[in-house]
Chain A
Amino acid sequence: GAVVSQHPSWVICKSGTSVKIECRSLDFQATTMFWYRQFPKQSLMLMATSNEGSKATYEQGVEKDKFLINHASLTLSTLTVTSAHPEDSSFYICSASQGLAAFGEQYFGPGTRLTVT
């Protein structure tokens, strides 16, 4: 149980274009979903937290107009990187929590490798 999927697993896009990444909880309803970014040999950095049906909460330093997050249902959240640039190239990972975000364990998706050329 507690399986989270992401699509696509990798994507290459040209500078200036936008790319959408999907995160789905397959066998549970996720009240809260999280988006992380991980650079090589670095720890996971939380970008934003989203609750179904409400606006995402972004971490300090994360541009909300550049990283658009939508959490339209209890099983789907999307991250859209708008006007991507080479410095946005990274490993993006989502996670989902079954219970109250304050106490629930987070289950992670397999990640999406984004390369911007």
Chain B
Amino acid sequence: EDQVTQSPEALRLQEGESSSLNCSYTVSGLRGLFWYRQDPGKGPEFLFTLYSAGEEKEKERLKATLTKKESFLHITAPKPEDSATYLCAVQGGGGSNYKLTFGKGTLLTVNP
């Protein structure tokens, strides 16, 4: 069974204070690792897909990296509007090859 563990559960940063969120996973044949942003009371917003170890993707202040066991979401010089819950999900190549397995998320709060 695919599993995703995100840490920390919550992270509080000052504006401009860079940090990283962690996503550890176990999956049978990784097809893709996904990062989403979710604001309170809203559906997740797609950020990145990573397919293989060593891959990196960037979008504004966010950079996602992938190894064979974990992914990091690096946030550089965050702003208050980056406050949200960040979700990590994996899509495995086992029996349910379309299913996304989500972690519980990291609640990021950026204070001005």
Contacts and interface: CB of A to CB of B under 8 A. Distances in A.
B103 A43 contact: yes
Nearest to B85: A41
A46 B91 CA distance: 12
A106 B98 CA distance: 10
A76 to B, nearest CB: 17
A108 B97 contact: no
Interface of A is mostly: strand
B43 A110 contact: yes
B45 A43 contact: no
Nearest to A101: B98
B102 to A, nearest CB: 4
B97 A102 contact: yes
Nearest to A2: B46
Interface residues of A, number: 27
A38 B104 CA distance: 10
B59 interface: no
B100 A106 contact: yes
Interface residues of B, number: 24
Given A43-B105, A44-B87, A93 B100 contact: no
B45 to A, nearest CB: 7
Interface string A18-48: 0000000000000010100000011111100
A36 to B, nearest CB: 8
Nearest to A5: B43
Contacts of A4: 43
Contact of A44 (B44, B45, B97): B44
Contacts of A49: 98-99
Nearest to B89: A44
Please give me the 7 A-B residue pairs with the lowest Cβ-Cβ distance, nearest first: A101-B98, A108-B43, A43-B102, A43-B104, A102-B97, A111-B43, A108-B44
Given A46-B99, A93-B44, A105-B34, 9 more contacts: A43-B102, A43-B105, A44-B44, A44-B89, A97-B98, A102-B97, A102-B98, A103-B32, A105-B46
